[in-house]
Structure 1
Amino acid sequence: MISLETQHFNINRILLLIIGLWPYQRSLLVEFQLILLYGILMTFIVFQLTTFITAECTLDLIYKVLSSAFFYICFAIKYNSFWINADIIRTSLKQLQDVCNEITDKNEIAIIEKYGDKAKRITITILFLGMFYQVTFTLIYIWPYIHHIMAFTNKSRSHSSVHIMTEYFIDQEKHSYLVTLHRHAACCIGLLAMITTGTMLLTYAQHTCAMISIACYRIEHAMDILLKGYKNEQKSCEEIIHAVNIHRKAMNLINFLISNFSGSYFCLMAAGVLCLSCNLLRLTSFTGNIGQLILSLTNLIIQYVYLFLANYTAQEVTDHNEYLFTTVYNVRWYMAPIRTQKMILFLLQRGTKSFHLILGGVFVASLQSAASRALPYRTSPFFILPSKNKNMVKQFLIF
């Protein structure tokens, strides 16, 4: 039996436990951990926005503050989305575990293992990218201190930084180390929240792809059984029924997750667009501050990487769903008995409807959407088939 929590979600489980977002074992200590970490992140956002109270409000100040503030708001939205949707995550994981418990075929188990390993590799890669950003963020702030020491000068230097503007209403020179600790703690918490929540959803999507691949395998296996002799028709029909069931569960699982996170994704997209715009404006007003340049570039890189991974994962789910239709079309259904052909008919009818993941209720997630402003809806997957094949399938559906 496949244990998702200990085999495929073990890295995600550890990361979520660190920031208190693992949906199980929610004790009072975990709730305190959540409030503390989320409070650190939110107060850092607030202390950036309070700059508008004490500083002269200019256009340069506005996009300089908002470029970093909205970046951390994106972190806060992702953190909050898993906090308020803990029951949804727990229910989804239970549904996925129930599906895995029903799988006994060694080839189907191998498919689950393949996609689970892929999800773990992607999670580890993203985690290392996050660590690289955290190291870069730290070096930006400690490099002036290192340069000051290496210069062997006795002149005192300011501890304040202009890369991320904040207003704590205290003497920041006197309490510079507390301010630095708060800043780096907020960055670490926010970055870890973005990585853990994103990779958790990515792992769910990979297992959805695995379930669709198992449906393809079952259809092919059903036709192989049938072609060995008509006396195996009952067993073949059962395999097709199992394929339809696991495909339906896969679609229900991914739609259940996306629909419950639609509000969070809508807010995330709005904050992300504003963050991208402000950082691009900040780059165009480069004044020779290397630290500001590096910080803006890394913020943009992280957002574009996140955008690419989210759309790439959604594209994989869409491609797997279309491949299921292609598999049904390519099997030798015309050699099957009428009863089996009627069952395959339902799969072909389901394949005539394009499947897309809609993020936030407004954005069609796909690689084409990531590269352009919108993804044109296709009225039918027949457009991917040659005209000769289209007519054949249409005739079969009419029959």
Structure 2
Amino acid sequence: MICIETQHFNLNRTLLLAIGLWPYQKSKLVQFQTILFFSILISFVIFQLTAFITTICTVDFIIETFSTALVFNFYVIIYNMFWINTHHVRNLLEQLQYICNELRDKNELAIIKKYGYYTRRFTAIFTLLGICTIFFLILLPIWPHVFGTLLHINKSRIENQAIQITNEYFIDQEKYFYLILLHKNAVFCIGITTLTATGTTLLGCVIHICGMFKIASYRIEEAMSTKMLKNINLKNQTMIYKKIFYAVEIHRKTIKFTDMLISSFEGSFLLLIMFFVISLSLNTFAVFRNASLGNKEVFLFHLLYVFTIYLDMFLYNYAGQEITNYSNHVYFTAYNVRWYLAPLGVQKMILFILQNGSKTFHLNIAGLFVISIECFATLIKASMSYFTFMYSVQQ
């Protein structure tokens, strides 16, 4: 028997526990932790927007502020997405466990274990990438202080160089510099951990969906194998019926599970797509703007933002494309087997799969976006169009 929580999502569980979003064992201490972390994230966005109260609003200032505020707003949206949908996350994991519990064939167990290994491996890779990003963002503001001590550079000049994100705390920022820096570092740690934990959990669900489609293909191939079709007696005919029935059943459950995954987070996904396009446009503009002005530290920040947005957009759309590809593979498997040699009843069951597979299965967000590589290209094209417009107006 496979335990999804401990065998496939063990690292995801640790990451979600660290930020208070694991859907099980919600004690009062965990609830306090969740409220505290969410407050830290949203307060950072608010303190960026309050800068409009005390600063003269030029076009450069507006773009600079919104380009960073929208990036940190991703953390708020994603954290809130898992927080308010805790029961949906729990239902998804339980449904996945239920499907795995029904697997009895050793080859089917081997398939799902293989995709569970993929889940652990990708989670480990993105966790390592997240840790490296956290260290980079924490150490970047400190380097000017280190060099300032060694080279005897003016302290106020160092602090102005170190603070790259526009905030308004309504306090003396030089006096409380390290307290403000602590707030920023806490946001980086919580935000990137949130992005990693939630993203890899959703990615793990997608990987298991691909594994279940693979099992459906395997069951069809086994039912229609040459050995079965050579001697169609009553025993073999009953066996073929059962295997085709189980193939149809897991195919149906996989589609139902996928629809549940999308419907649980549909509103948040739609909001994220909108912010992805706007934020990518603004940060791409900020990269070119700061590169031309020679602001190296700010340039690095925005370049990191652009890379992160590109990576997230690509991964989400690539995951949707993979689900479509695996769903199509079930259709091609049913089409390519020698179904015409099977009994009439089996042919009708295979026809059911062919009819379902004749219409390509997509991850559809609110009827507006079909998650795929083509969608990724469309979003990039849209964001580059907005960037080109801003750049031409600025010139």
TM surpasses 0.5: yes
1:48/1:65 contact within 8 Å kept: yes
- 1:203 matched to 2:204? The reply is yes
| 1: CA distance, partners of 2:379 / 2:313 | 13
2:144/2:158 contact within 8 Å kept: no
1:262/1:361 contact within 8 Å kept: no
1:158/1:173 contact within 8 Å kept: no
1:8/1:116 contact within 8 Å kept: yes
Residue 90 of structure 2 aligns with an amino acid whose one-letter code is: R
User: 1:80-113 CA deviation, whole Å, 9 max, x = no partner?
Assistant: 0000111111111111101111111110001001
Distance change in 2, residues 1:90/1:238 (3 Å): same
Distance change in 2, residues 1:218/1:159 (3 Å): same
| 2: CA distance, partners of 1:296 / 1:119 | 30
| 2: CA distance, partners of 1:271 / 1:156 | 35
Q: CA deviation at 1:157?
A: 4.3
- 5+ unaligned residues in a row in structure 1: which ranges? 376-399
Please report the TM-score for the alignment, with normalisation by the length of structure 2.
0.92
Q: CA deviation at 1:317?
A: 0.6
- 1:13 matched to 2:17? The reply is no
1:222/1:240 contact within 8 Å kept: yes
| 2: CA distance, partners of 1:264 / 1:49 | 22
| 1: CA distance, partners of 2:335 / 2:35 | 53
- 1:92 matched to 2:92? The reply is yes
Of the three residues 244, 260, 272, the one matched with 1:268 is 272
1:19/1:34 contact within 8 Å kept: yes
Q: Which residue in the other structure is 1:300 paired with?
A: 306
Q: CA deviation at 1:372?
A: 3.1
- 1:57 matched to 2:61? The reply is no
Residue 283 of structure 1 aligns with an amino acid whose one-letter code is: V
Distance change in 2, residues 1:42/1:153 (3 Å): closer
Q: Which residue in the other structure is 2:392 paired with?
A: none
| 1: CA distance, partners of 2:154 / 2:47 | 32
Q: Which residue in the other structure is 2:105 paired with?
A: 105
Most deviating of 16-25 and 137-146: 137-146
Most deviating of 179-188 and 160-169: 160-169
User: 1:159-218 CA deviation, whole Å, 9 max, x = no partner?
Assistant: 344410000000111111100000110111111111111110110011111111001111
Q: CA deviation at 1:284?
A: 2.4
Q: CA deviation at 1:289?
A: 1.1
Q: CA deviation at 1:334?
A: 1.1
Listed as ranges, the matches of 1:186-197 within 5 Å are 186-197=187-198
Listed as ranges, the matches of 1:313-352 within 5 Å are 313-352=319-358
* 3-state SS of paired residue (2:138): helix
Q: Which residue in the other structure is 1:368 paired with?
A: 374
1:138/1:184 contact within 8 Å kept: yes
| 2: CA distance, partners of 1:267 / 1:73 | 11
Please report the TM-score for the alignment, with normalisation by the length of structure 1.
0.91
Aligned-residue identity in percent: 46
- 5+ unaligned residues in a row in structure 2: which ranges? 382-395
RMSD over aligned Cα atoms: 1.6
User: 1:47-70 CA deviation, whole Å, 9 max, x = no partner?
Assistant: 011000001111111011111100
* 3-state SS of paired residue (1:285): helix
Q: Which residue in the other structure is 2:218 paired with?
A: 217
Structure with the larger helix share: 2
| 1: CA distance, partners of 2:205 / 2:147 | 46
